[in-house]
Amino acid sequence: MQSSARTVPEVLADIVGNIQEIIRSEFRLAKAEIRQEAAKAYGPLISCLIAGVVGLYAGAYLIFAAIMGLATLLPTWAASLIVSVVLAVIAAVMLSAATKKLKNVNTVPERTVESLKENVQWAKDQIK
């Protein structure tokens, strides 16, 4: 009669192999979660970039036109100040909208963290 019981080194080798595969799976899950969250951030970040570039060009032309128009009524320095304040308010509103969208992006891979906790508990149970 042959013994079908496994030796302690075989059991430990299986446990180590399982833990290695679990760790690989967790890394794959973490990468997938990070990609998913990065995809959410992509749109708002591009919007911020585009808004900044358009704002710079529009601001430059608007400043020139507004200063020239207001300079017919006020001193040039006063016209420049008024136009600059208006543009600063517009930029602040655009930045505020973009940052609100960015706050919805989760930078912690929640599912991976939870899964890692479960795997650590499983490994502890296997060693007992």
pTM of the model: 0.40
**Domain assignments of the chain as residue spans, ordered by start:** 12-111
Cα distance between residue 97 and residue 75, in whole Å = 34
Let me know: does 48 contact 93? Beta carbons within 8 Å: no
Cα atoms in the 13 Å half-sphere on the side-chain side of 77: 0
Weakly modelled stretches of the chain, pLDDT under 50: 1
Q: Which two tokens stand for residue 57?
A: 């060009």
Residue 116: partners with Cβ closer than 8 Å, 6 or more residues away: 26
Q: What is the pLDDT of residue 73?
A: 94
